[in-house]
Structure 1
Amino acid sequence: MNMKLETLPPYRIVFARQVGPYGDGNRKTMEKIKNWAKEKQSLTSAVFLGIAQDNPETTKPEQCRYDACLVIPNDYKLTREEGIHEAILPGGLYLVFQVQHTKEALQKAWTEIFPAVYQNGYEVDSKPVMERFTGESGKDDICELCVPVKIE
């Protein structure tokens, strides 16, 4: 698993939220935001983010929140639409792990990334961990797990 240190800028995002157990609902919510981007045509080559807002070990499955996000330009004129929200994600220092976007590879990565963070002398910061997909319509072959860190 490749790892690199990266400073991410603040991102202006639009997002759709799914509430319930993580899994198939996450995929459907990401498809919703991708379809929204395709409808806008000028947003098809973009950065997509998946953010699990809750820890499923400490939050009941029916209360877990997942945000499927699209980074949009600061000057993009956004119109209000049902189920689409806007936010600013803070930038900062992240360890970025490149992973094949398969269920098995992601499960394995989630068990390995946090020990790797600490073994490399970092502490996890309080910002959300993100899955990042880049390229045309956020093709899903490769996923980058972005873990916010601070130096101990």
Structure 2
Amino acid sequence: MKIETIPTYRIAYFRRVGPYGAANYETMQRLKEWAAVERLLDDTSIILGISQDNVETTEPQNCRYDAALVISEDFQKDDMALIGELRGGKYVCFTVLHTAEAMRQAWTDIFYELSNQGLELDNRPTFERFTTDMLREHYCEICIPIK
């Protein structure tokens, strides 16, 4: 667990609306295929899986998931991906083995740990962050916004 100030990211993304879970994988694959065709993936790439809604306050069928790639300011919009930004700020980041079991357990344990640490959540999206090195080693970071 580490606390980090993350900058506001400019992102290209694909959105899926529906219950969070295994179907998000398809959205992420679509993003990666698009990014490969656009030649946007390299050793400095940052990929994000953004959960836009809180499952405790949003009906599952209305939950928004964005598979995103951090892009430069000079990237020109195309017809496939949406362009937006992920607001930065203070986040607590957990490095997690990127397996279904480890991720499920992490999502179960994280909010208990935040409560134990006395950290207060902020009303920004949570996200999973992947760098090229992390993907090679089968890890990711779960980033939770805090005040």
| TM-score, shorter chain, exceeding 0.5 | yes
Aligned residue in 2 for 1:77: 76
In structure 2, distance between residues paired with 1:101 and 1:136: 13
Aligned residue in 2 for 1:11: 9
Aligned residue in 2 for 1:100: 97
C-alpha distance 138-40 of structure 1, shift in aligned 2 (>3 A): farther
In structure 1, distance between residues paired with 2:29 and 2:134: 10
RMSD between superposed Cα atoms in Å: 1.9
| Structure richer in helix, relative to its length | 2
Q: Deviations over 1:97-125 (max 9, x none)?
A: 00111111111111211122222232111
| Structure richer in strand, relative to its length | 1
In structure 1, distance between residues paired with 2:115 and 2:20: 26
Aligned residue in 2 for 1:25: 23
Instruction: Give matches, 1:19-58, under 5 Å.
Output: 19-45=17-43, 46-58=45-57
Deviates more, 1:28-37 or 1:127-136: 127-136
C-alpha distance 133-140 of structure 1, shift in aligned 2 (>3 A): farther
Give the 3-state SS of the residue equivalent to 1:24 in structure 2. coil
Q: TM-score, normalised by structure 2?
A: 0.89
Percent sequence identity is 47
C-alpha distance 73-40 of structure 1, shift in aligned 2 (>3 A): same
C-alpha distance 53-18 of structure 1, shift in aligned 2 (>3 A): same
In structure 2, distance between residues paired with 1:9 and 1:121: 23
In structure 1, distance between residues paired with 2:86 and 2:28: 18
Give the 3-state SS of the residue equivalent to 2:90 in structure 1. strand
Which stretches of structure 1, 4 residues or more, deviate above 6 A after TM superposition? none
Deviation, 1:67, is 0.7
C-alpha distance 140-22 of structure 1, shift in aligned 2 (>3 A): farther
Q: TM-score, normalised by structure 1?
A: 0.86
Unaligned runs of 5+ residues in structure 2 are none
Deviation, 1:137, is 10
